[in-house]
Amino acid sequence: MQFPDYRPRRMRQNSSFRRMIRETRLSVDNLIMPFFAVNGKNVSEPIPSMPGQYHLSVDNIVKQAKKAKNLGIPAILLFGIPESKNPLGTRAYAKDGIVARAVAAVKNKCPDIAVITDVCLCQYIDHGHCGMVDKGIIENDASLDLLARIAISHANAGADMVAPSDMMDGRVGFIRESLDDQGFSHIPIMSYAAKYCSSFYGPFREAADSSPKFGDRRTYQMDPANAVEAIREVALDVEEGADIIMVKPALAYLDIISRVREEFDLPVAAYNVSGEYSMIKAAQKMGWVDGDRVMMETLTAIRRAGADMILTYFAMDAAAILTAP
């Protein structure tokens, strides 16, 4: 079809037509809202690098979980900032750890929202890496037992799903086996399957106090230049028992999301990370962009690339727009 017989503008001339032929649908059902849990009571401390986000005590996590549920958001993701750190990251898997307490409180007061927990050591271990360290080397296999302990502690607290973000080789299989052995075969794993060593994590690392004290994470997170490797990484996690596979970050890796969606038939998640969020917030503050419209365009692009679910700090704001009368 060619002009003048075919005129694409015919179907763009009013909002009803545009809605009728819209190819990608963004729904509140696609959204997962992350929260940062800290110790204390009635704590709601702004995170300077992430405008609109807060460090929240458990009581306020519960309040925000209820708000998310009322907006129709199906799930939240919990990160914890402990009161102390040590070489073994013991507060990550302690029975009274910050995430375990937050999980228990949310499931008690707001049982209908799904609670997903981040499984990693970086916030809890004194050197800030995602695994054990020996003589300056991140030890892969020595880290697996501690990661499994974290997952089990979260499951014991009532978590609906665990999400290992460490990128240690073999951790999905090790966690799966450990959960099964402890009677948690029903707990799914959302694997950070293709997690890149990205510069877009900067605001999160400030928020979670999780920057490495030496070196960087290039020996375990993926090289941003690699795409074929992402397929291999995802395939490994699928073979090890992942129930959901994630690509992180999202915007600079839309091609990876698309390739993963084409290659695998499991649900695909994408993490719209802190740097992506904060850049939009900063541009909005300067008056350079319409923040709400850029937010919705960004989330729609991630959906269009193939993500079934989007972990995003925009979830509450986007849900308010999506559910508005």
Residues catalogued as catalytic = 195, 248
Distance separating alpha carbons of residues 76 and 65, to the nearest angstrom: 7
3-state SS assignment for residue 134: strand
Beta carbons of 222 and 276 less than 8 angstroms apart:
no
What DSSP designation does 78 have?
E
Helical axes 315-322 vs 291-305, angle rounded to 10°: 90
- Whether omega for the bond prior to residue 224 falls within 30 degrees of 0, making it cis, is no
Which DSSP string do the residues of 254-265 spell out, in sequence order?
Answer: HHHHHHHHHH--
Distance separating alpha carbons of residues 34 and 31, to the nearest angstrom: 10
| Main-chain dihedrals φ then ψ at residue 17, nearest 5 degrees | -65, -45
Strands 31-38 and 268-272: unpaired
- Whether omega for the bond prior to residue 188 falls within 30 degrees of 0, making it cis, is no
User: 257-293 burial, b if ≥16 CB within 10 A, otherwise e?
Assistant: bbbbbeebebbbbbbbbbbbbbbbbeebeeeebebee
3-state SS assignment for residue 158: coil
What DSSP designation does 44 have?
E
